Amino acid sequence: MDTRKLFALLALMALLLPLMSACAKPTPEPTVEATVEATEEATEEATVEATEEATEEPTEEPAPEPDYDTDIYGYLEDVDPSGQEVTYWYQHTRSREELMLAMIDDFNRTNEWGITVVGESQGGYGDLFQNIIAGIPANQLPEMAVAYQNQAATYATQDVLVALDPYVASEKWGYTQAELDDFFPVALTADYLPQFGGRYGWPPYKSMEVMYYNEDWLVELGYDGPPETWEEFGEMACAAIENPFSGQTGEGPVLGYEYSVDASRFATFVFSRGGDIISEDGSEYVFNSDAGIATMSFWQELVEKGCAAQATEKYGDQTDFGNGRSLFTVSSISGLPYYGQAVSEGADFTWSVNPPPYGSDRSAPRMNIYGASQSIMTSTPEQQLAVWVFIKWLSEPEQQARWATSTGYFATRASAVALMQDYIDENPTYAKAFEFMKLDSGVESPVAGYDECRAAIAEMLTVILDGGAVQEEMDAAIEVCNEYLEEAAP
Amino acid sequence: MAATKQPVDVGVQHSLFSGQGGRHLREALQAYLFLLPGTFILFVFSLFPIGYALYISFHKWRIRKGDFIGLGNYLKALGTPQDAIFTLGGLGLLAGSWMLWRKIKSEEPVKITLLKALFAFLLIVGGLGFVLGFPQMLVNGDEDLFTALLITSYYSLGTVPFQIVLSFLLATVLFQNIRGKTTWRILYFLPYVTVTVASAAVWQSIYEPRRGLLNLFLVTLGMPAENVPKWLFEATPIGVYLGDLVGLSLPDWAGGPSLALVSVIIYNIWTYVGYNAVIYLAGLGNIPHSLYEAATIDGANRWEILRDITIPLVSPTTYFLVMMGVLGTFRAFNHIYVMTSVVGPIGAPRGTTMTTSMLIWKNFWSGNRFGYASALAFVLTGVLMSLTWVQKRISEGRVFYG
């Protein structure tokens, strides 16, 4: 019996030993720290050389110390990205992924530094976010990733993202002022993260929320154009359910406005009334303002009257719009090709897009222009620079035009428009929407914890649109969102 | 030198493994060597992750490890330490009193009075502790957790009894010599082997309010299109919903699960009835035919045979299926997630499908609260272990193993 116990103990120890060694502090991998050491050594060597040179040529002034952290970036003007291989995680699938892979292949073949980018699709935006969140504690991250601004903020709180300001400002690798002026201001504004006081993403393309409308049906209803204000929108939506479209096809009820429950839709409506989701400094959520209350009261009333209803299947709003069963939907402009397809396969009517209506106290629309940007994950200065070189290449007017004309997204540089002229001429709806880029716009919350808050907003929408008390539910959602904001803050 | 050492080694080996003790040692060594690979896998893939999750639950862990907060996450879920001690301690004492009550019957008369006094003490103190602690726990703890536990209970109670009854009836029918018996068995078993995500997505489209097959069928039967149920989109409690149909007004709290959850329950019953029936068929096959013959000779009718022979003798199967069913419903996630994803955020509509598993997922992935989600997972584990213990105790004396 004792012998058995002895062997049981020995067997247990044999089992625990590998586990204990696995739990032991791992030997630090020679990544960032090693790079820092290497950089310091290189800096010392460079300093010695510079001193020697300075001794030889006493008239040359020493270079000013850079205003960024050289431990992270190295000395940018001296960092060499040659021969680096970087992994890029994105959310594109199917035809968009094929295009992205083709572009990556072009970059890999043509860039003068021999940089190799390896593109890897992670599924949708949600999958991509989850994979990165899971990769952070496991130290299994790509060198580059697509990220919405709030997601970038979440990554930045974990110190796995680098600010792009030093790259943008670099004389050797950055942009000139003229080049920066070529970008639409709204595109560059969004990637500034107030919690960190820096830019953590770069936008080669953008999207926006627009209102899709059935032009033929509006004519049948006696209107000569799409609604400009929310009051007109409500009137037309309710008129539609009394007078179904003559060319409707398929099954289902007639709807004035068909919506999907989404925080970005709510943000769009709040922006259109002059409100905001979060305060400018990102310190608190403010969507229970007058604009927010007016938005939800109006929306709830539309639902109660039967003039608006939720889509009950995935992309049901597109299907019903295409079948001539819903007069309006509000959705991302990136859905433009899919709406076109739904209409041509459905009731085949004349349709178009417009900015979402605005509040009666405003005189012009205010858009929700958004879109994920490209972010650089912390790696070595050489790899980070290699990623920046690729991002800059993706942001060239030629690449922007290539991407935009194939996907329906918007280029972020004015000079790209000239390269897209044929496409713009062939696609008047896209051309019309492109003009909206110049309109006033709100920015969805670029703070850590907004992803969690979006779920709370979506929950709030379902409750209110099901008859819940507007003020009470909005206050409750604000409380939850602010709790997440505080919890996720850097 | 080597030649002189060799016999010494052999001698040591001889003394260690020879004789009665040596043989036991050798056998033990062999046994543990055989156990080693399995034990290693058990440690690495089961016990270590569980231990690590427990470690996470003691920390403020948002994506990365934060400060050690001890029982902080557990107290966030269960309220103050006093609430937890009163409630859990009270439940423990109540369980102890129950066990004691069962023991009293078999004790000698001398001890009975003493045990009865102890029983009364445990019952009063336990009950008092629970009554004092539980309401405070509801106030101070995580409201979402208690709501989720209630919804999970609805889900379990709505699923398991129906699964058991239907599968038993089905098995009884399939056990007869009917035509195409094998084909029927395969057909009923198919839902269980179908990929959950795929079948859940199909059911989601069946339930779709505007174009779904179910509502199209109801409209064909004459139900006005504007009155058809919204199924997965309907947050109204089923009692209230049905009450409205017959003109009876019920308060929400008395209404039970939402129609959305009932829709998911129906799917789950459909999935597992075939599987349970196959298990029951094995149980029915084990009942000796001679018992039926004897009962028939004694003049028992079909109902009496079913009540007095079949049901008692399949009770081990019933116990197994009930236990697995309860555990399964408390851990259910995939199909609920898939079926309700189109409705809105997780737990939609209006949080009425937010079972405990869904709440854990929400906190882990949607809220990045790794520490708190891990603590919730252990709370759920505690609930499951308690339920299993209660089931085991209830089944004692009721399950007949032949």
Residue length, chain A? 490
The pTM (predicted TM-score) of the whole model is 0.84
B40 touches A: beta carbon within 8 Å: yes
Q: Per-residue pLDDT averaged across A37-65, rounded?
A: 50
Beta carbons within 8 Å of B330's beta carbon, 6+ residues apart:
B152, B156, B355, B356, B357, B380, B383, B384, B387
Q: Per-residue pLDDT averaged across A51-78, rounded?
A: 74
Higher pLDDT, B107 or A164: A164
A246-271 exposure pattern, b = at least 16 Cβ within 10 A, e = fewer: eebeeebbbbbbbbbbbbbbbbbbbb
Q: Per-residue pLDDT averaged across B87-105, rounded?
A: 90
Question: Which residues, listed in sequence order, are joined to residue A211 by a DSSP beta bridge?
Answer: A330, A354
pLDDT score recorded for residue A15 = 42
A138 touches B: beta carbon within 8 Å: no
Looking at the structure, tell me whether residues B236 and B347 fall in a common domain: yes
User: What type of residue sits at position A361?
Assistant: D
pLDDT score recorded for residue A57 = 53
Cβ pair B233:A312 closer than 8 A: yes
Domain end (from B140, B169, B193): B140
**Is the residue at B329 inside a domain?**
yes
Q: Across chain A, what does the average pLDDT equal?
A: 88
Residue length, chain B? 402
A435-452 exposure pattern, b = at least 16 Cβ within 10 A, e = fewer: ebbeebbbbbbbbbbbbb
Looking at the structure, tell me whether residues B180 and B133 fall in a common domain: no
pLDDT score recorded for residue B172 = 92
pLDDT score recorded for residue B254 = 82
pLDDT score recorded for residue B65 = 92
**Is the residue at B251 inside a domain?**
yes
Looking at the structure, tell me whether residues B252 and B122 fall in a common domain: no
Instruction: Judge contact between B238 and B131, C-beta under 8 A.
Output: no
What's the CA gap between B12 and B33, in Å, rounded? 21
Q: Residue B299: left (phi > 0), alpha (psi -120 to 50), or beta?
A: left
User: What type of residue sits at position A232?
Assistant: E
Looking at the structure, tell me whether residues B163 and B207 fall in a common domain: yes
* Beta strands at B64-68 and B59-62: parallel, antiparallel or unpaired: antiparallel
Per-residue pLDDT for B238 more than 60? yes
How close does chain A come to B141, measured CA to CA in Å?
16
pLDDT score recorded for residue A5 = 54
pLDDT score recorded for residue A63 = 66
What's the CA gap between A145 and A160, in Å, rounded? 11
Tokens of B23: 């043989």
Tokens of A23: 């739990």
How close does chain B come to A413, measured CA to CA in Å?
34
pLDDT score recorded for residue B253 = 78
Q: Which of B63, B347, B351 is the closest to A136 by Cβ?
A: B63
B81 touches A: beta carbon within 8 Å: no
Q: Per-residue pLDDT averaged across B173-181, rounded?
A: 87
- Minimum mean pLDDT range among A138-147, A238-247, A441-450: A441-450
**Is the residue at B167 inside a domain?**
yes
CATH number, domain of B245, equals: 1.10.3720.10
Residue B202, domain extent: 142-395
**Is the residue at B56 inside a domain?**
no
- Minimum mean pLDDT range among A31-45, A285-299, A328-342, B224-238: A31-45
- At B118-153, the pLDDT tens digits run 999 999 999 999 999 999 999 999 999 999 999 999
Looking at the structure, tell me whether residues B100 and B151 fall in a common domain: no
Cβ pair B344:A462 closer than 8 A: yes
Looking at the structure, tell me whether residues B95 and B193 fall in a common domain: no
> What count of other Cβ atoms lies within 10 Å of the Cβ of residue A95?
11
Higher pLDDT, A353 or A64: A353
What's the CA gap between B359 and A179, in Å, rounded? 48
Looking at the structure, tell me whether residues B133 and B146 fall in a common domain: no
Per-residue pLDDT for A59 more than 80? no
Check whether the bond before A26 is cis (ω within 30° of 0).
no
pLDDT band at residue A17 under the 50/70/90 scheme: very low
Name every chain A residue with its beta carbon within 8 A of the beta carbon of B36: 11, 14-15
pLDDT score recorded for residue A21 = 39
What's the CA gap between B194 and B207, in Å, rounded? 19
Name every chain A residue with its beta carbon within 8 A of the beta carbon of B62: 487-488
What's the CA gap between A142 and A122, in Å, rounded? 11
Domain end (from B140, B158, B183): B140
Per-residue pLDDT for B219 more than 60? yes
Q: Which of B21, B36, B64 is the closest to A3 by Cβ?
A: B21
- At A175-213, the pLDDT tens digits run 999 999 999 988 898 899 999 999 999 999 999 999 999
Instruction: Judge contact between A405 and A420, C-beta under 8 A.
Output: yes
Name every chain A residue with its beta carbon within 8 A of the beta carbon of B52: none
Instruction: Judge contact between A161 and A153, C-beta under 8 A.
Output: no
Name every chain B residue with its beta carbon within 8 A of the beta carbon of A479: none
| A:240-259 residues touching chain B, CB 8 A cutoff | 251-253
pLDDT score recorded for residue B29 = 92
How close does chain A come to B167, measured CA to CA in Å?
32
Name every chain A residue with its beta carbon within 8 A of the beta carbon of B216: 251
Q: Per-residue pLDDT averaged across A27-56, rounded?
A: 41
Q: Is the sign of the CA dihedral A240, A244, A247, A252 positive or negative?
A: positive
Cβ pair B209:A458 closer than 8 A: no
| CA B243 centroid distance within chain | 30
Cβ pair B348:A313 closer than 8 A: no
- At B310-328, the pLDDT tens digits run 999 999 999 999 999 999 9
How close does chain B come to A361, measured CA to CA in Å?
31
**Is the residue at B340 inside a domain?**
yes
- Determine which of B62, B63, B372 to mutate to test the interface with A (most A C-beta atoms within 10 Å): B63
Looking at the structure, tell me whether residues B303 and B357 fall in a common domain: yes
pLDDT score recorded for residue B18 = 77
Q: Is the sign of the CA dihedral B237, B241, B243, B248 positive or negative?
A: positive
A483 touches B: beta carbon within 8 Å: no
Cβ pair A19:B48 closer than 8 A: yes
Domain end (from B107, B140, B173): B140
DSSP A373-407: EEEEBS--HHHHHHHHHHHHHHTSHHHHHHHHHHH
**Is the residue at B80 inside a domain?**
yes
> What count of other Cβ atoms lies within 10 Å of the Cβ of residue A113?
14
- At B340-355, the pLDDT tens digits run 999 999 998 999 999 9
pLDDT band at residue A60 under the 50/70/90 scheme: low
Looking at the structure, tell me whether residues B133 and B155 fall in a common domain: no
pLDDT score recorded for residue A346 = 95
Cβ pairs A/B, distance under 8 A: 94
Nearest to B150 by CA among B280, B252, B284, B303: B252
Q: Across chain B, what does the average pLDDT equal?
A: 91
Q: Which of A4, A19, A487 is the closest to B28 by Cβ?
A: A4
- At B20-63, the pLDDT tens digits run 888 889 899 999 999 999 999 999 999 999 999 999 999 999 98
Per-residue pLDDT for A34 more than 70? no
How close does chain A come to B65, measured CA to CA in Å?
8
Looking at the structure, tell me whether residues B102 and B157 fall in a common domain: no
Q: Which of B32, B345, B346 is the closest to A11 by Cβ?
A: B32
Tally of domains within chain B: 2
A21 touches B: beta carbon within 8 Å: no
**Is the residue at B5 inside a domain?**
no
Nearest to A149 by CA among A454, A482, A486: A454
Cβ pair A133:B63 closer than 8 A: yes
**Is the residue at B4 inside a domain?**
no
pLDDT score recorded for residue A9 = 52
Per-residue pLDDT for A25 more than 80? no
Cβ pair A133:B43 closer than 8 A: no
Looking at the structure, tell me whether residues B93 and B130 fall in a common domain: yes
pLDDT score recorded for residue A61 = 66
pLDDT band at residue A4 under the 50/70/90 scheme: very low
Looking at the structure, tell me whether residues B189 and B328 fall in a common domain: yes
Tokens of A217: 């049906």
How close does chain B come to A94, measured CA to CA in Å?
21
Per-residue pLDDT for B330 more than 90? yes
pLDDT band at residue B402 under the 50/70/90 scheme: low
